[in-house]
Structure 1
């Protein structure tokens, strides 16, 4: 799978990965932005397979039911209960506590549409699970996935979000008009 993904990602699509996902860290949050197109998921899966690091994602539990649930699991999905009575952040922190190895990719924007500010769940998951955040960017301008070094959160939320903004501010998304690169909080 890795060789096929790498061929499609690099030779057919012409993309590359700059930076690297830490292989020695068994647990961290991966935030991927800007998330402005349906293409992002496919590019991310190909990039993940190309570099050979197991990175999971979450999705609503109903997607994991037959007949197609096995596909979502095979692609690294973990089901979560998204009912109003459950606390999603606590549920995901529990997954981190239960698993020996878990790298979770999330879109901090929470949608492919324009948002005034990011969702903060990823931040509180990282805090609750005591894991670093690895940022990656979909840079369609340079046809690259740009990966940052792990970032360990501080006790200054605004400073942390300014750090994230600095990483993403010059990235060219698939649809630039849908990315807010001025303010994240």
Structure 2
């Protein structure tokens, strides 16, 4: 058992990863209601012998923390305007197109606060890069983390997002009032 797996086991967490270790993929992770989600997910993925980069708001990439975050796969996300977010999607698609092996974890909520407006960039990246999306879920009441389903986007962003939100609606974050899968909440 790896050190990551041992730490999770001692903390009472179980990890269920049944999906293939695709050479290229996005791991969509929800619910995201706490900074602990990041730590738990990094440990869970490492316990399975896998590595994934991750997107994180650029304000976390200050010195010296930024050096550590980049070293473990962090990609800073600008929080300024729509044009920069569009160019981020293009840059990540390019990164996938020029990599033999790459997995990036993305939290579609884009925040730890309650929001029904999930970001669709991960769907656009997967479509343009022609890669699968692994659905990674954290369920605090049962202390379980899952990657048991793969989603292949259809190109219909709204329908795909409804389907993904439906999948995640059965899971509960650390702060359950901060997680929303309803489109009108």
| TM bin (shorter chain) | 0.7 to 0.9
Where in structure 1 are there 5+ consecutive unaligned residues? none
> Residue 34 of structure 1 is aligned with which of 31, 47, 51?
31
Residue 122 of structure 1 and its aligned partner are, at CA, apart by 0.9
Residue 66 of structure 1 and its aligned partner are, at CA, apart by 5.4
TM-score (norm 1): 0.86
Alignment partner, residue 102 of structure 1: 102
Residue 79 of structure 1 and its aligned partner are, at CA, apart by 4.8
SS for the counterpart of 1:174 is coil
SS for the counterpart of 2:96 is helix
SS for the counterpart of 1:150 is strand
Deviates more, 1:133-142 or 1:150-159: 150-159
Contact preservation (8 Å) 2:137, 2:168: yes
In 2, Cα distance between equivalents of 1:184 and 1:21: 31
C-alpha change, 1:148 and 1:114, in structure 2 (3 Å) is same
Matched residues, number:
182
In 2, Cα distance between equivalents of 1:129 and 1:184: 30
In 1, Cα distance between equivalents of 2:54 and 2:108: 13
C-alpha change, 1:98 and 1:83, in structure 2 (3 Å) is farther
SS for the counterpart of 1:103 is strand
In 2, Cα distance between equivalents of 1:61 and 1:177: 26
Alignment partner, residue 45 of structure 1: 42
Contact preservation (8 Å) 2:120, 2:157: no
C-alpha change, 1:100 and 1:79, in structure 2 (3 Å) is farther
In 2, Cα distance between equivalents of 1:32 and 1:162: 15
Contact preservation (8 Å) 1:161, 1:184: no
Alignment partner, residue 7 of structure 1: 6
Alignment partner, residue 68 of structure 2: 71
Where in structure 2 are there 5+ consecutive unaligned residues? none
Deviates more, 1:85-94 or 1:35-44: 85-94
TM-score (norm 2): 0.86
